[in-house]
Amino acid sequence: MLLGLVLVAVLVLALVWIFQRRLIYRPDATPVPALPGTEDVRLRTADGLELDASFVRPAQAPEATVLVANGNGGNRAGRAPLAAKLAQAGLAVLTFDYRGYGGNPGDPDEAGLALDVRAAYRFLVEDRRVPPERILFYGESLGCAVVAELALEHPPAGLLLRSPFVDLAAVGAEIYPYLPVRLLLRDRFPVRDEVARLRVPTVVVLGGRDSIVPPAQSREVAAAASARLVEIPDADHNDPVLLEGPELLDAVRSLVPR
């Protein structure tokens, strides 16, 4: 019986090791139709993939441009309301889908997402001639890790982290407390350690009742980044107030360089 239990445990761990990225990345692979008020654009990654993206301009000359890195679920269509409201607030916005999301080719992993966000950054700087000192990075949950890593190489004018976790293992251990997550993970996303090395204006926005990323982890990231903290007390991870609410929009606007 003991041997049987050991074999079952080994099998479970092996399956988690093999299929772990299906637990981490939850893409909506449906191609995104043309979104009202947006310009459909293509990004090319350093490893040869073409990714779909959407660019939104405000009615007037933009005060800054926001590069949005999504969380681990859905696709950029779910971020269209945020982009529209930021444009109404005078900001240009680039939303894009990672590899494997929104009809894009490829499979997501930590290294691949790093290439994808660099393709988005190059599009802004090289194709649209946006000065780097007028670019803000916006990361949502997993996207916090994506933009934090990019910021080490290309410091933005400001960094908005919405519901960041300490690192992927820390949040994974909350969701799967019965698994040795830190030993099994192949993708690390060390947000806290990366933001501690940055010297850019940073705001952390979190929900006080976040059921996916513990609020304590977001506060820890804010402390490591010496960031201004905006806490919305009764908000859960995917509540509208954290997706496109006024506190979130004000936090982004507060980073616009003067």
CATH of the domain at 126: 3.40.50.1820
The per-type count for the chain, helices as H runs and strands as E runs, is 10, 10
The answer as to whether 24 is a domain residue is: no
77 and 32 Cβ atoms separated by less than 8 Å: yes
Mean pLDDT of 50-71: 97
pLDDT in the model for residue 193? 98
The answer as to whether 8 is a domain residue is: no
Residues whose CB falls within 8 Å of the CB of residue 51, separated by 6 or more in sequence, listed in order? 42, 43, 44, 45, 96, 97, 98, 99, 104, 116, 119, 120
pLDDT in the model for residue 36? 84
Q: 44: how many CB neighbours lie within 10 A of its CB?
A: 12
The pTM of this model reads 0.93
Mean pLDDT of 228-243: 97
Residue 43 pLDDT more than 80? yes
Query: What is the count of structural domains for the chain?
Result: 1
Range of the domain at 248: 36-253
Given pLDDT bands bounded at 50, 70 and 90, which one contains residue 183? confident
Residue 64 sits at φ, ψ, to 5 deg, of -165, 170
Average pLDDT, the chain: 93
The answer as to whether 13 is a domain residue is: no
Given pLDDT bands bounded at 50, 70 and 90, which one contains residue 177? confident
Residue 47 pLDDT more than 90? yes
Given pLDDT bands bounded at 50, 70 and 90, which one contains residue 3? low
The answer as to whether 17 is a domain residue is: no
Distance CA 161, CA 242 (A): 11
Mean pLDDT of 111-135: 98
Q: Return the higher-pLDDT residue of 204 and 173.
A: 204
